[in-house]
Chains A and B, each alone.
Chain A
Amino acid sequence: MKENISRTMSSAALIVGFFLIWEVLCIAFGISDVILPKPSQIFLVMWERWPALLPHAVQTLYTTMVGFAWGVVLGVAIGVLIGSFRLAYDTAYPLLIGFNSIPKVAVVPIFVLWFGSGTVPAILTSITISMFPIVVNVATGLATTEPELEDVLKALKATKFDILWNVGLPRTAPYFFASLKVAITLSFVGTVISETVASNRGIGNMMMTASSSFNVPLVFSGLFILAGMGIALHMLFSFIERRLTHWAHRKSEFATV
């Protein structure tokens, strides 16, 4: 326990130190706030403009969560399909890899032509970008189910669905939750990409507006908000992961993050 506290303290001190060094370097080299604002200035701007920033943050969070939720649903469905059927694996995998290789920023204008600008393209971008790691991990999890176990179950007259439900999916859980942590941060990336291209609200849009009026501290406060939300959600999913799949973690160090 004591060890834990000192570990937390030292990491907190290092994070604070990071911002301090940033601050000091800005002052020491007299860097203009149009190039790189000081952290103190960024936090001040965030504090002062919070009522105006809040609706943007809420929009981004909402879009990300909707996109992420759909990404999880579709990701699991496709992952199960690919992991369970040879034919699905052979056809869907190349397609998915091809699709994932397309930079999402190139897809946004197409979504805008189809659905107009705003929330819909942001959600779609978020889905497309967050789905991939989930598909891959779920499919891998299913593929690593021991064949001996399957054979035993088959001998006991278990159907394919029984095996999937009782063995395959629980075995996949550690892979699945690990992928959620990656997917949630990617989901933010997708939303913000879309917001910078075409939207009326959201952190991405706010950063574009701020940078077109050269308000660089405001741009950075947008980045900080994104980072903050990303960290918070990552921690949330780490926590859920630890609660639900603690049986799979054999070592205590590093395993939680």
Chain B
Amino acid sequence: MPAITRRHALIGAAVLAASPAFGATQPATRIRFTLDWKLQGQHAIFFLAREKGYFRDEGLDVIIDQGEGSAATITRVMSGAYDAGFGDINSVVEQAAKKPGEAPVMVYQFYNRPPYIIVVNKSSPIVKLKDFEGRTVGAPAGSAAARLIPVLAKRNGVDPAKISITNMQLSLQEQMLVQGQIDAMSTYNTTAYINLMMQGKDPDKDFRWFNFGDYGLDLYSNGVMVSQKFLKENPAAVGGLVRAVNRAVKDAAENIDAALAIIMKIEPLLNLAAERKRADYCFREVFISSETVANGFGDVDDKRLSRGIDIVVEAFELPRTPRVEEIFNHSFLPPKSDRMVSYKAS
């Protein structure tokens, strides 16, 4: 074995410096990111950002894990196991009121129209909210929609104590509803609408929908959140995350099929036809609204958010009312002109 001379060392250093991988960039910032659910069509956006290198362009190494529910995202981020995630803003409000220093902060809004619904069979005797008294509603334990049922009830003069909620696995609720084992189920319309279609039903004709938005709960829902710790330590990375996600949203809105091709490569066992419908439904019914057309995608209207916070605080009888700035941080959003998203349904 020859001794390492100064010349060897110099040559070695020169070779290393010349190679593109070395010296070009600093090591990527790692972000552990949790989704709200098992893989669904709309999650293609995040995988698109990863596969097309949008995260890498921002110096990020994002690890995307599947989730257990939109409310569970908040617990996962608060526990420190995740730096960021995709989850429900109203659960953030709840935690911000209870544990101000620990709750995650929203930085990019996705679901502009409230996706929360209760569905009953068309043949069911339940026709108005009052009819839910004495009935059982099924929902998965981590569901953000089920957590809002007491809010919905109180706002509409229904006794929340008289509605019982039973927990079941997320994959079972549609089957149990169709088979009549539960009176109603509560979840996101993005999940329910397509899953009922998959059961061979016509979601509009065979079921009756109670959309929380129609009953005075004009709430925002899922978006991208980061932990306060991560935001303090890596503000630049948060900005990069938001920029990369925004780029991916625009790409997916332009060409949803290309985005879905990416998620199908990651999980070939997904049902492409169903997930395509789901992604399409998300963009048309939940993501895009007159508000996003006017103000750009990803942002929230402070007045509307403030009303939403009041609703949540009142419903859960929270000890304090968090300020809007505690819940949503606008400062990482790209300029409005970069956030104009128009969905081209093909």
List residues of chain A with CB under 8 Å of any chain B CB: 49, 51-53, 109, 112-118, 197-200, 205-206, 208-215, 218
Residues of B within 8 Å of A118, CB to CB, are: 65
Given contacts A116-B81, A197-B68, A200-B66, is CB(A213)–CB(B271) below 8 Å? yes
A206 touches B269 (CB 8 A): yes
Bound complex: CA of A26 vs CA of B23, how far in Å? 64
11 contacts between A and B (CB under 8 A): A49-B269, A52-B267, A53-B269, A113-B79, A116-B65, A117-B65, A199-B66, A209-B39, A209-B267, A212-B38, A213-B195
By beta carbon, the residue of chain A nearest B273 is A213
A209 touches B32 (CB 8 A): no
B269 touches A218 (CB 8 A): yes
Q: Which listed residue (B38, B81, B269) contacts A52, Cβ 8 A?
A: B269
- Tell me if B19 is interfacial: C-beta within 8 Å of chain A: no
Most buried by B among A114, A199, A205, A212: A212
A-B contact count (CB 8 A): 68
By beta carbon, the residue of chain B nearest A206 is B269
Closest 4 CB pairs of A and B: A52-B268, A212-B171, A116-B81, A113-B79
**How many positions in chain B have a CB within 8 Å of any CB in the partner chain?**
27
- Tell me if B170 is interfacial: C-beta within 8 Å of chain A: yes
B82 touches A214 (CB 8 A): no
Residues of A within 8 Å of B75, CB to CB, are: 113
Q: 1/0 per position for B222-249, CB-CB distance to A under 8 A?
A: 0000000000000000000000000000
Q: 1/0 per position for B56-78, CB-CB distance to A under 8 A?
A: 00000000111110000001100
A198 touches B66 (CB 8 A): yes
Q: Which listed residue (B34, B81, B171, B270) contacts A211, Cβ 8 A?
A: B171
- Tell me if B124 is interfacial: C-beta within 8 Å of chain A: no
Residues of A within 8 Å of B68, CB to CB, are: 109, 112, 117, 197-198
Residues of B within 8 Å of A199, CB to CB, are: 66
Residues of A within 8 Å of B28, CB to CB, are: none
- Tell me if B164 is interfacial: C-beta within 8 Å of chain A: no
Given contacts A197-B68, A213-B270, is CB(A116)–CB(B199) below 8 Å? no
- Tell me if B262 is interfacial: C-beta within 8 Å of chain A: no
- Tell me if B18 is interfacial: C-beta within 8 Å of chain A: no
Most buried by B among A51, A52, A206: A52
Given contacts A209-B270, A212-B171, is CB(A117)–CB(B38) below 8 Å? no
A215 touches B271 (CB 8 A): yes
Q: Which listed residue (A49, A112, A208) contacts B38, Cβ 8 A?
A: A208
- Tell me if B176 is interfacial: C-beta within 8 Å of chain A: no
Bound complex: CA of A209 vs CA of B39, how far in Å? 7
A116 touches B76 (CB 8 A): yes
B1-58 contacts to A, CB under 8 A, are 32, 34, 38-39
Given contacts A112-B76, A113-B79, A117-B65, is CB(A214)–CB(B198) below 8 Å? yes
Residues of A within 8 Å of B32, CB to CB, are: 116
- Tell me if B274 is interfacial: C-beta within 8 Å of chain A: yes
List residues of chain B with CB under 8 Å of any chain A CB: 32, 34, 38-39, 64-68, 75-76, 79, 81-82, 170-172, 175, 195, 198-199, 267-271, 274
B38 touches A113 (CB 8 A): no
Most buried by B among A117, A197, A205: A117
Residues of B within 8 Å of A115, CB to CB, are: 81
Residues of A within 8 Å of B171, CB to CB, are: 208, 211-212
Most buried by B among A49, A197, A200, A215: A200
**Nearest chain B CB to A223 CB, angstrom units:** 15
B274 touches A213 (CB 8 A): yes
Residues of A within 8 Å of B67, CB to CB, are: 117
Bound complex: CA of A52 vs CA of B198, how far in Å? 21
Most buried by A among B81, B195, B198: B81
B198 touches A213 (CB 8 A): yes
Given contacts A114-B79, A199-B66, A214-B199, is CB(A209)–CB(B34) below 8 Å? no
Residues of B within 8 Å of A218, CB to CB, are: 269
**Nearest chain B CB to A122 CB, angstrom units:** 12
B170 touches A209 (CB 8 A): no
A117 touches B269 (CB 8 A): no
A116 touches B82 (CB 8 A): yes
Bound complex: CA of A180 vs CA of B55, how far in Å? 45
Q: Which listed residue (A51, A117, A215) contacts B66, Cβ 8 A?
A: A117
Residues of A within 8 Å of B170, CB to CB, are: 212
Given contacts A53-B269, A215-B271, is CB(A112)–CB(B81) below 8 Å? yes
A209 touches B269 (CB 8 A): yes
By beta carbon, the residue of chain A nearest B271 is A213
**Nearest chain A CB to B164 CB, angstrom units:** 23
Residues of A within 8 Å of B269, CB to CB, are: 49, 52-53, 206, 209-210, 215, 218
Residues of B within 8 Å of A114, CB to CB, are: 79, 81
For the complex with contacts A115-B81, A215-B269, 14 further pairs of A-B residues with Cβ separation under 8 Å are A49-B268, A109-B68, A114-B81, A116-B76, A117-B34, A118-B65, A205-B66, A209-B267, A211-B171, A211-B172, A213-B195, A213-B198, A214-B175, A214-B195
